[in-house]
A and B are shown apart, each in its own frame.
Chain A
Amino acid sequence: MRKSHPIIKALALFTVWFLYLPLLGVAVCSVNTAKGGWVWKGFTLDWYFKLLDNEWILNSAWNTLELAVVSTAIATLLGTILAIGISRFPWGRKTNSFLNTMLNIPVVIPDIIMAGSLVVVFGILREVSSIFDMGMIDMIIGHVTFQIAFVALVVRSRLALIGQDVEEAGRDLFASNWYLMRKVMLPLMMPGIVAGAMLAFTLSLDDFVLSFFLSGPDSQTLPLFIYAAVRRGVTPEIHALSTLVVLITVILVVGAERFSKKEIA
């Protein structure tokens, strides 16, 4: 590999430092005995234990988890089916590029636009049934809408890696559609599906904008709680909570990365 210029190296290091410094600061504050400010007064895990006493936080954590688990489950199922449909059905070239664009739009579109349009849609649906009142169901549907695209993209690239001839070999060896799916395609797709699900899960876990627009009185999530709490003043508990959320996200993202790179073996 070519040796890079020292300035480029310095710039890269600075950028990484700049990105992670605030996170590091939060993590340090979460284990600092001091209640505020930037003075180190000693190590403690008290703030973490205090989280467990706060009913609001526990409630929000539970909501967040419920939302993430349910929406991820639905999005993984639908996204996987979508990926199979897009990459295995003999679409024409035009239809194919249209589907590709459609699949990428939810990824790049600003959350706030998505959230705004969902508010409008649920407003209309509310006329039909009170199920669509602001709250958990709306949030789950909202999260699923953007998670599907991520799952489908990851699973589709996995399918491209598997290739068509293994599937054809299965058919040639007398496998029915269902048998082929169960014995060949699912096991080979599984790393992609798991990676997609992990990605979808972290997206739901961290989502603020959609939840903010769609949540009801009983469906506050952790990001929403943190937002509200910060407005009242930052406390070490918030630092502790934020650090936990970041940790979980990092673990899931690293996991997803490893799964999606897993070789076909």
Chain B
Amino acid sequence: MDTHKDKNLTIKNMVKTFGKVEVLKTVNQEVRAGEFFTLLGPSGCGKTTLLRIIAGLEIPTSGSVILGNDDITSLPANKRHVNMVFQSYALFPHLTIYENIAFGLRSRKINADEIKRRVNEGIEMLRLETLKDRMPDQLSGGQKQRVSLARALVNEPDILLLDEPMSALDAKLRAQVQEELRRLQRKLGTTFIMVTHDQDEALVCSDRIAVMNEGQIVQCGTPEEVYDYPCNKFVAEFLGAANMLKAKRVDGGVETELGFFALDKIPDWNEGLVTIRPEWVKISENKPDHNGVLATVEDSVYRGTNFDLFLSPGNLRVRTSSYKHFRTGDKIWIELTASDLVALGD
């Protein structure tokens, strides 16, 4: 069972075109053995195509897929030790839950005792004991998804692929499944590659996230890295609310419509954008020593866990604790700390 733990996946110069449409434009990426890796991006960015190429369900136009030391680019899906959880779950409607889970083992002609043991293990792992004799159409969405997971995992794949696994679940169940997936992945140590367009999902589950746009990986890093230090405007905005300020580089920082700000990392452009997350804008009673702005509260939106304040000038959004009350028209000092203010590239 431990043989798969040292197999890194390498995607090399991957290109995929459908007719004249370039879905993937030269993707290079390594996925480390045992990590929870997420491909995050808007629909049509090529993330699902990339996943299907790894599964062997799509043939790349050029480029290669290397698993461990083997080039598996031309290996058909049924010969790859990689299994997939489909977006629609794709359970076999004519087979019981038990037989659905056993399918992969049976088609590899594994001996009966071993099948029984592994299927029961899978059933136990995903708490399906009471459902194993039912048919797929008697199950709820969440149950189908657990069956789909069990069906893939009993094969002990080198990599488990998850295609938008939570898109068909309601919000409450989604949060639960996110945690379950994470727990399962840590326990098994199997490499998980998940495709999603939901940034919360990506942030909660992943060891590393690759943000994709228009057929390319724009930025890859830990959830903290991509959220705290987005490399460009697309990543900053796709991963949540972000304040954007047009800026010109000057000595020691940038000049914006709100005045001069010192930056920890001086950008390499002359004119561009700087960004800060709403929750990192600090509010203070007195004028801060550096990077302070005197602002007026234009609107305040109560969101349960916090307030969102909209300030002028600059139309800044600031997130503040819900026990602090501000009224429209209040004048407050805010501080955009040099370390939290990030200069964006192209």
**A contact set with B: CB distance below 8 Å:** 163, 165-166, 168-176, 179, 183-184, 187-188, 263-265
Contact of A171 among B78, B94, B151, B152 (CB under 8 A): B78
B160 to chain A, nearest CB (A): 11
In the complex, are the beta carbons of B57 and A170 less than 8 A apart? Answer: no
A168, B77: Cβ atoms closer than 8 Å: yes
With contact pairs A168-B77, A171-B57 given, residues A265 and B104 touching in the complex (Cβ less than 8 Å): no
- Complex CA–CA separation, A172 to B121 (angstroms): 21
Cβ contact within 8 Å between B94 and A188 = yes
Q: List 19 A-B contacts (CB under 8 A).
A: A163-B88, A165-B87, A169-B84, A170-B103, A171-B56, A171-B57, A171-B76, A172-B77, A172-B78, A173-B152, A173-B155, A174-B108, A175-B103, A175-B107, A176-B78, A176-B107, A188-B93, A188-B94, A265-B137
Partner of A174, one of B90, B91, B104: B104
With A and B bound together, what is the CA distance between A263 and B55 in angstroms?
A: 30
Beta-carbon contact of A172 and B137 below 8 Å: no
Instruction: Decide: B93 and A265 in contact? CB cutoff 8 A.
Output: yes
Task: Show the binding face of B for A, using Cβ within 8 Å.
Answer: 55-57, 76-79, 82-84, 86-88, 90-94, 103-104, 107-108, 135, 137, 151-152, 155
Q: Is A169 a contact partner of B92 (Cβ separation < 8 A)?
A: yes
**Residue of A at shortest CB range from B106?**
A183
Min CB gap B156→A, angstroms: 12
A171–B58 alpha-carbon span in the complex (Å):
12
Cα distance, A166 to B56, chains bound together (Å): 15
User: Which of A168, A174, A188 makes the CB contact (< 8 A) with B107?
Assistant: A174
Q: Which residues of chain B are near A170, meaning CB under 8 Å? A: 92, 103, 107
Q: Are the C-beta atoms of B76 and A168 separated by less than 8 Å?
A: no
Main secondary structure on chain A at its contact with chain B?
helix
Residues of A near B103 (CB, < 8 A) are: 170, 173, 175, 183
- The interface residues of chain B lying within 8 Å CB-to-CB of A174 are 78-79, 104, 107-108, 155
Residues A171 and B77 in contact in the complex (CB < 8 Å), given A176-B107, A265-B135: yes
A173-B93 in contact (CB<8A):
no
Which residues of chain A have C-beta atoms less than 8 A from B84's C-beta? 169, 172
Of the residues B88, B107, B135, contact of A173 by C-beta under 8 Å: B107
Distance of B5 from chain A, by nearest CB (Å): 21
Q: A165–B78 contact, CB under 8 A?
A: no
Of A173, A176, A187, which is in contact with the most chain B CB atoms at under 10 Å from its CB?
A: A173
CB distance from A129 to the nearest CB of B (A): 43
User: Do residues B57 and A168 form an inter-chain contact, with CB atoms below 8 A?
Assistant: yes
Contact between A173 and B104, CB atoms less than 8 A apart: yes
Q: Are B94 and A265 in contact (CB-based, < 8 A)?
A: yes
Cβ–Cβ contact A165 & B107, under 8 A: no
